[in-house]
Structure 1
């Protein structure tokens, strides 16, 4: 009897938690000072580009084994590829058909190579030199990319106030994307500067697809509550969006400063430029395990179960409030 009461109490507590967290995510607040400094002011303080570079030194060595080559990692990436294909591979860019797509945070190049196989030319950037080296190596050994569509890989640190996103002789892009948390190492001020830069670099009608680690991951929170680890259950909400927290982005790596953002923050920051409108929002990893656990969960969970959870994701992730509850969220903008 006591066990039944305890179980019911846990269920009720979890339900109340989900409702409370949903309200907190949906009706998020952000100060007007932050809006002004991040979205509109070019003189806002920027992240120190060298201060957080060291923790990433070994990330390139474990990125594929801990995420890209795992069952969970593949399922999560396949979800985003559907959106990338719809945004770029099936679109006809009437203004500049030959303009490339800009990738921010390309990692080891999987997304750029996928789009290249769809005859989409990508300028893929990352600020980790090891990632660029591995991406170029993958590209050189890839035989599925059509001739003339090989991506260009370039080192680029968006935290550097003097960065230059240019590809001579092309200075504008047909679209842009950033997959799996590439923006979460940027401060709110950096995000604001990026929004302004993209408003000038993207042709009208072009799409910007961003996949960002969110402020609340339902799977992660319920797991840690079950383990009675309340500190980790609420780690993403411990601080406001303009204050980063120390966290690991992959197993066997050092902690780094990470900023967790809500869909509302990204929407407000980009639409404040008056050059973008939102056309899509959905969760990535709503019922699948979080990306940080890709390697361990891929070993412990049956592939059929993971495939089923991925199907559930595809059915539910686009509806409110579910797109607030994923490990990541996808938000797509159109350049006006």
Structure 2
């Protein structure tokens, strides 16, 4: 995968991690993920960004190795915590760690959306080699049918963008950096991973809680945001809504 996100590293925590929406979405991930960590000891995180999730795992007493393709992201992460952070490409992650075994591989907030279908197929074909018996993947992915985005572009009269996620290889802006992005519904992931993995669960992340790029709009509307978060709690087990949310969490187990 082509190196990217270096430009985003300096501002990523301000534009996502530390925002109210970012915190809400991350808490949704942690709440569901925590239910599946009882037999986990060693964790490999890919696209770790500035290390927020790695720090959370470390505080839960897991052995965490966290990677990102961006040296700048890793630099920021190392400045936050003395953990095992490494620069590594998702596309070669299985060979990078070929002599190690992990109980869980974790990818948060759309890191795998940077992979084309052929790259993602290669990922699922090889990643099981570094997972322990019954090892799991916990992946937070952006789907094609996000309702918030459709309403957003409709309100801005950007009609050509309403269904942009259905196109192949969309250019998305991440803190001023152009990133080629591919969107996958849960069914797409299940089909690509089916040969080596079985599906444990799929849960929506951000069906009512809005995308982070709307944080400015909701900054002075915290009451509304809390209300949306309460609504989110009511549908958190509705797997059928996953393809309409901002993200979804899918957990797969090695066959």
The TM tier, using the shorter chain, reads over 0.9
- 1:288 to partner: Cα distance: 1.4
Matched, 1:164 2:113: no
Matched, 1:293 2:214: yes
Asked whether the equivalents of residues 85 and 115 of structure 1 are also in contact (C-alpha less than 8 Å), the reply is no
Q: 1-side partners of 2:217 and 2:186: how far apart?
A: 26
Compared CA separation, residues 300 and 235, structure 1 to 2 (3 A):
farther
Q: 1-side partners of 2:243 and 2:192: how far apart?
A: 17
Match of residue 13 from structure 2: 64
Q: 2-side partners of 1:297 and 1:317: how far apart?
A: 24
Q: In terms of Rg, which structure is larger? A: 1
Matched, 1:154 2:82: no
Asked whether the equivalents of residues 143 and 246 of structure 2 are also in contact (C-alpha less than 8 Å), the reply is yes
Question: Alignment length, in residue pairs?
Answer: 255
Q: 2-side partners of 1:111 and 1:104: how far apart?
A: 10
CA deviations over 1:53-78 (Å, ceiling 9, x no partner): 3x523110111000001011000001
Q: 1-side partners of 2:237 and 2:169: how far apart?
A: 27
- 1:228 to partner: Cα distance: 2.6
Q: 1-side partners of 2:183 and 2:220: how far apart?
A: 27
Q: 1-side partners of 2:217 and 2:109: how far apart?
A: 18
Structure 1: stretches of 5+ with no match in the other structure: 1-48, 141-150
Secondary structure at the aligned position of 1:164 is classed as helix
Compared CA separation, residues 163 and 333, structure 1 to 2 (3 A):
closer
Which of the residues 174, 199, 210 maps onto 2:128? 199
- Supply the RMSD in Å over aligned alpha carbons: 1.9
Secondary structure at the aligned position of 1:278 is classed as strand
Asked whether the equivalents of residues 94 and 130 of structure 2 are also in contact (C-alpha less than 8 Å), the reply is no
Asked whether the equivalents of residues 87 and 207 of structure 1 are also in contact (C-alpha less than 8 Å), the reply is no
- 1:163 to partner: Cα distance: 6.6
Bigger share in strand: 2
Match of residue 12 from structure 1: none
Question: Superposition pairs for residues 1-336 of structure 1, below 5 Å?
Answer: 49-50=1-2, 53=3, 56-88=5-37, 91-93=38-40, 100-140=42-82, 151-159=83-91, 164-166=95-97, 171-237=100-166, 239=167, 243-248=168-173, 250=174, 252-273=175-196, 276-294=197-215, 296-302=216-222, 304-336=223-255
Asked whether the equivalents of residues 64 and 84 of structure 2 are also in contact (C-alpha less than 8 Å), the reply is yes
Q: 1-side partners of 2:248 and 2:237: how far apart?
A: 10
Structure 2: stretches of 5+ with no match in the other structure: none
- 1:293 to partner: Cα distance: 2.9
Asked whether the equivalents of residues 169 and 181 of structure 2 are also in contact (C-alpha less than 8 Å), the reply is yes
Match of residue 39 from structure 1: none
TM-score (norm 1): 0.71
Asked whether the equivalents of residues 156 and 163 of structure 1 are also in contact (C-alpha less than 8 Å), the reply is no
Q: 2-side partners of 1:201 and 1:159: how far apart?
A: 14
Q: 2-side partners of 1:69 and 1:301: how far apart?
A: 16
